[in-house]
Structure 1
Amino acid sequence: FMMNKWLEDFQFKISIGAGVFVLAIFLSMMIAWVTVGYKAVKAALANPVKSIRAD
């Protein structure tokens, strides 16, 4: 509601539906899941001996 009210003040009018926000949230969550998943798999497959020797 507030976004549409703010957009009404501009000379060129557009409307933003709920789909835009759903898509943005979905894409953000997918990027987060892929990033965390990649780091988790990388940590799970790492050789623990190398980590201990580095300390």
Structure 2
Amino acid sequence: MLSIEFVKLVLSAIIIASPLAWWIMHKWLENFAYRIEMQWWMFVLAGALAVFIALITVSSQAIRAAITKPVDSLRDE
């Protein structure tokens, strides 16, 4: 449940950032003598990598919280 919320946030960030990144890169790359075009798969790959990193981070934190003993955390507080 927690990871779904993070994936939603990451996907909304990708949707917002991808057109902006494409426009900035297009403007920057048109100044070079040898021009290349940004392909759609580059943005999909970057988005998939961001979602993968978010899932690994959330999963590792959830596993770490599940493994710790509640008594130890209550003693520290």
TM-score for both structures, normalised by structure 2: 0.62
Structure with larger Rg? 1
For residues 19 and 38 of structure 1, what CA distance do their matches in structure 2 show? Answer: 28
SS in 2 for 1:14: coil
The residue type equivalent to 2:73 in the other structure is S
RMSD of equivalent CA atoms = 1.5
Q: Which residue of 2 aligns with 1:23?
A: 45
Q: Determine which structure has the larger helix proportion and give its number.
A: 2
Relative contact order (C-alpha < 8 Å, sep 6+): which is higher? 2
Number of residue pairs matched by the alignment: 55
Runs of at least 5 residues in structure 1 that lack an aligned partner in the other structure? none
Give the percent of matched residue pairs that are identical in Structure 1 and Structure 2. 42
Runs of at least 5 residues in structure 2 that lack an aligned partner in the other structure? 1-21
